[in-house]
Every structure is written in structure tokens, then in C-alpha cells.
Amino acid sequence: MKYLTRTIWLLSLVSLFTDLASEMLYPVMPLYLRSIGFSVVLIGVLEGVAEATAGLSKGYFGQWSDRLGRRLPFVQWGYGLSALSKPMLAVLAAPWWVFLARTTDRLGKGLRTGARDALLSDETTPATKGRVFGFHRSLDTLGAVLGPAVALLWLALRPGDYRLLFVLAFLPGLAAIFVTLLVREKPRMASNRPVLPFWASFGYWKQAPAAYRQVVGGLLVFALFNSSDAFLLLLARQRGLPDATVIGLYIFYNLIYALAAFPAGSLSDRLGPRRLLAGGLLLFGAVYAGMVIAQEIWAFGLLFGLYGLYAAATEGVSKAWVSNLCAQADTGAALGTFAGLGSLAALVASIFTGYVWHTFGPAVAFGLSAGVAAGVALYLALIRLQAAPE
């Protein structure tokens, strides 16, 4: 596995530690916010502002890293801000402070995402990108397995002690910062494109090759109907599964995802990302259709396991494919724009799914997502791409 360079290993470990810190707080964040007086509406506004911050900044900082010819400073500062945001939540419970802490975390994600993915892409070749991005997603998702498990253990030992948990979450974040200091960036040519202003973060779209717009456009249509995983957990809870079982399903999903991401990336290098992505989207459609009729715990277990396989077949593979559809000097902007537009599309998807669920019921909401996923899979399988740049 010579293609797994030192930099790839280090960046994957950084993602593991950071996701461990974030996912330690995932199960308790809604409980904590309600305990300090946040309404459901205010929680929705908080998450909307946070995700919009991440989405808008990914493209901006990605193309800025291209222009400077540097990736590492964006990676280090981005992970640093996200780590700092964790203990901030333990300092003060005022709504404005919580908004500041959450926005700081998402700004850190926006700052690092495009540059980190570009740094991973710079470390590999088109023939091995699926494996590299799959390996990175595997270690990243391992943090999503360990984090909720740590949180559940903590709450079992010290029920309701949220603030100290926020402080403890800083420790893996601190480890992530330390590992970024070990990364060494190779010299690279700077892009000659001008840095666009923040409000024009997605200006790369107009300059991007046609093949990039064809693939990313299809994936964004899917993203507009791919709502938050919280809806899957909510449906399982609504069908009568206890809280501990629902969180256990979430951990199981991430475990399957972590185990399958690297093999899925290797498979995409052999078969091509197009086939694996199309297959993954069909799997998504099957899971969402199955969720409509699932009632028993074994059925939910099967569906969440298949959902982990879908994620493994799409998340890292899509980044690998997109990075091969742009000029190397524009990789940061290309991946940052893709990630940023995807974040904003996910925000729209969650709002839309919530509305459809409330108005027509979960069967319609999930059935619509399943149908769109099947349509996009067919589109990706049949589309004839225009030539990509060298």
C-alpha cells in the first residue's frame, strides 16, 4: 500500500480525532440545548446558520488555497477552530455564545475541507484516488463510531453532566491539532485565477469544465432530496424503538460505513467511480423505500447496515471522481465548491423533507427521496461526459 503516504495517514488520523470529538457531542447536543432554554425553532435556526456558514466558506477557502499554492495552513487553522469550539460551549449558556461556538466549529470545517481534500488528491494519482479517499473516509467514520459510544458511557456514569463532556471533547480535538503539525506539504504551483470575494464563493462553477458540471450537477440534484440522517433516527423512534436502540443503530451504521469505505474505494478504482456511485444511489433508494414499511428491529438493523454500504460507495468515491474532472491547479476550488454546494443542498433537503413529512407523512417524504436517488443513478450511468482537462 505504497499509495497510502505519510501525509494521507496523518490527515486520516486528524479526521478520526476530530470526528471523535464532534460525535461525542452529537447525541447530547439537542438535550443540552433544550436544557438551557432553546426551543425547537431556535435549534433549527442555529443549525441553519451553522450549515450555511460551512457551505458558503468551503468554496471560498478552497479556491483561496489554490491561489496561494498552499493547503496546510487552511487545514491547520480549520481543525484548530473546530477544536476550540468544543470547550466554548462549557463556558457560557447564553444563546448568542452558543451561536458563536457553533458557527466557529462550522467555519473551521469550511476553512479546512477544500484544502484538505485537495491535499489528499495531490498525494495520489487518478488510478488510486478511490482507495485514498475511501481510506480517509474509513478512519474519519471510525470517529463517528467511537464518539457516540463514549458519550453514551459518559451519560450512563454522569447523567446530565453535559458541560464537562464538552471540555473532554477538546482532548481529541487537541490531538488532531498536534497531528496537523506533523504534516509536510509538497511545493506546488499556485493557480493564476483571481481569488473571488466571499459572496462569490461558488464562482468556480462558471469556470469549471463541462464534465465537472455534468457530474456535480447530478449529485447536487440528489443532495437536494438527501435529508439529514436525523430523519432516519426519528422514524425508527416513531416506530417504537427505544432511545438506546436508536443510538445503537446509528453507531452500527457508522461501523459498517467505516469498514466498507476503503474496499469500496478500491472497487471504484477497478470498476470506475461511475458504476459504484450509481450502485450506491440505487442502494440509497432501496433503503429509503424499505424504511417506509419497516416495523421490526431486525428490519431497521438490516436497513441501517445497507445505509452504511451506500455511504461507503458514494462519499469518498464522489470526491475521487470530482477531483479527476478538474485541472490540478484548481483542485481546492473544485472540491470546495462541490462540498459547499452539497452542504447548502443538504440544508434545503432537510427543510423540505421536514415540510413534506409534516404535511403528507414520512412515507411520501421517504418515497420521494428514493425515487430521485434512482433517477440520478440512471443519469450518472448513462450520461456521456465531455473531455476533462489534463
**Structural domains of the chain, ranges and CATH numbers in brackets:** 6-182+206-382 (1.20.1250.20)
DSSP state of 4: S
H or E stretch including 78? Answer: helix 72-91
**Top-confidence residue, 31 or 69:** 69
Q: Is residue 288 pLDDT above 90, yes or no?
A: yes
* 3-state class (DSSP) for residue 278: helix
Average pLDDT, the chain: 84
Condensed to tens digits (0 to 9), the pLDDT of residues 182-226 reads: 988 877 766 666 666 655 566 778 888 899 999 999 999 999 998
Q: What does the pLDDT read at residue 390?
A: 47
Write the CA distances from 21 to 85, 168, 248, integer angstroms.
11, 8, 18
| 21-30, 36-45, 76-85, 96-105: segment of lowest average pLDDT | 36-45
HSE-CB at 321 with a 13 A cutoff on CA atoms is 29
Query: By percentage, how much of the chain surpasses pLDDT 70?
Result: 91
- The cell for 283 is 442502494
Amino acid identity for residue 266 in this structure: S
Q: What does the pLDDT read at residue 217?
A: 94
C-alpha span between 132 and 155 (Å, rounded): 36
Highest mean pLDDT among 116-125, 163-172, 360-369: 360-369
Q: What does the pLDDT read at residue 308?
A: 94
**Structural contact between residues 373 and 221, judged by C-beta atoms closer than 8 angstroms:** no
- The cell for 177 is 491539532
C-alpha span between 273 and 264 (Å, rounded): 10
**Top-confidence residue, 380 or 52:** 380
pTM of this structure: 0.82
Q: Which residue has the cell 407523512?
A: 361
Query: By percentage, how much of the chain surpasses pLDDT 90?
Result: 25
pLDDT band at 380 (very low <50, low <70, confident <90, very high): very high
Q: What does the pLDDT read at residue 189?
A: 67
* CA angle (284, 286, 291) in 5-degree steps: 95
Write the CA distances from 70 to 303, 328, 346, integer angstroms.
42, 13, 29
* 3-state class (DSSP) for residue 228: coil
